[in-house]
Homo-oligomer: A and B are copies of this chain.
Amino acid sequence: MAKNVLIIGAGGVAQVVAHKMAQNAKEFGSLHIASRTVAKAEQIITSIREKGHSVEFSTHPLDAMDSNAVAALIRKIDANIVINVGSSFVNMTVLQGCIDTGAAYLDTAIHEDPAKICETPPWYGNYEWKRREACEKAGVTAILGVGFDPGVVNAYARLAEDEYFDKVDSIDIVDINAGSHGRWFATNFDPEINFREFTGTVYAWQGGKWTENKMFEVGREWDLPVVGKQTAYLSGHDEVHSLSARYKDADVRFWMGFGAHYINVFTVLQNLGLLSEKPVKTAEGLEVVPLKVVKAVLPDPASLAPDYQGKTCIGDLVKGSQDGKPGEVFIYNVADHKQAYEEVGSQGISYTAGVPPVAAAILVARGTWDVKKMVNVEDLPARPFLELLGDLGLPTRVIDATGDHPL
Contacts and interface: CB of A to CB of B under 8 A. Distances in A.
Interface of A: 184-185, 192, 264-265, 268-269, 271-274, 276, 280-284, 286, 288-290, 292-298
Given A283-B295, A288-B286, A295-B282, A268 B269 contact: yes
Contacts of A284: 292
B296 A283 contact: yes
A274 B292 contact: no
A185 B269 CA distance: 11
Contact of A293 (B184, B192, B271, B282): B282
A93 to B, nearest CB: 17
Integer count of this chain's copies in the complex: 2
Contacts of A271: 184-185
Contact of A286 (B272, B283, B292): B292
Given A280-B296, A286-B286, 14 more contacts: A185-B271, A185-B272, A192-B283, A272-B294, A274-B297, A276-B297, A280-B293, A282-B292, A283-B295, A283-B296, A286-B288, A286-B292, A288-B293, A293-B293
Contacts of A295: 282-283
B297 A273 contact: yes
A336 to B, nearest CB: 28
Q: Which 6 A-B pairs have the closest CB atoms?
A: A273-B297, A280-B296, A268-B268, A282-B292, A293-B293, A282-B296
A295 to B, nearest CB: 6
Given A265-B268, A272-B265, A290 B292 contact: no
A269 B293 CA distance: 12
Contacts of A184: 271-272
A64 to B, nearest CB: 14
15 contacts: A185-B271, A185-B272, A192-B283, A264-B264, A264-B268, A272-B294, A272-B297, A280-B293, A281-B296, A282-B288, A282-B289, A283-B292, A288-B296, A290-B297, A293-B293
Given A265-B268, A268-B265, A274 B294 contact: yes
A284 B294 CA distance: 13
A33 to B, nearest CB: 19
Contacts of A289: 282
Contacts of A296: 280-283, 288, 290
Contacts of A264: 264, 268
Contacts of A273: 297
